[in-house]
Structure 1
Amino acid sequence: DIANCAYKYKQGRPLQIPSVSKIIADVLVSILIQGLFLGQGLLVAKIPLPPLNELLELIHMCLLYALYAFEYKWFNMGWELHKRLTFIECNWPYFVGFGMPLAILTHLPNSYVV
């Protein structure tokens, strides 16, 4: 796995969550949270105020892409889901900026890039 190799190279040995059941629960809840957040972003896009709905959808997608990108690192650091989400909530401007390039590319109509 590329994420594990990169983490080992940069940080050393990844921290492990104590039990297999905790790992499975964490991964399943993380997938559920990402799915709900994606659904929320798509629902926000249906608001009948064109400039506002596009801006809110873009912000949702920025945060979702940033969460997806950083989740591998945080999982290897042993952070549980609530800690990862709290970290994003406390540092949301950074994560909006981090996810912005991909969100803009995927938001463009007829995007040939992505």
Structure 2
Amino acid sequence: MAGRLNGILGFIAHYKYLIVVVIGVLIVGLIDENSFLKRVQLELRISDLKREINRYTEQYEADSRQLDELKRHPKAIERIARERYFMKADDEDIYVLSDDEQPIETNNETTE
């Protein structure tokens, strides 16, 4: 038992600086509040948020252009109502054409 303890203490004494450096790197790299792992996670989050900001900025600009068009041209309101909400004037009909093919059900049963 004493020989084993002396071996462990000798190992620690011989590699004390290496052990301290490894423990320090583990604390700073993985455990600490400002660790490299958290830093990478926060950088990824920041890049996601920047992409989201750009997307919302583009959407805002498109909506602002459309709002300006609606303010300048009253006929634009009518056009948007027709395109998006399928509204119509009293004297016209609306036909919605679809490329989707509906399967035709056939009854292949024979009665005897």
TM over 0.5: no
TM-score by length of 2: 0.29
Higher RCO (Cα < 8 Å, 6 or more apart): 1
* Bigger share in helix: 1
TM-score by length of 1: 0.28
| Structure label with greater radius of gyration | 2
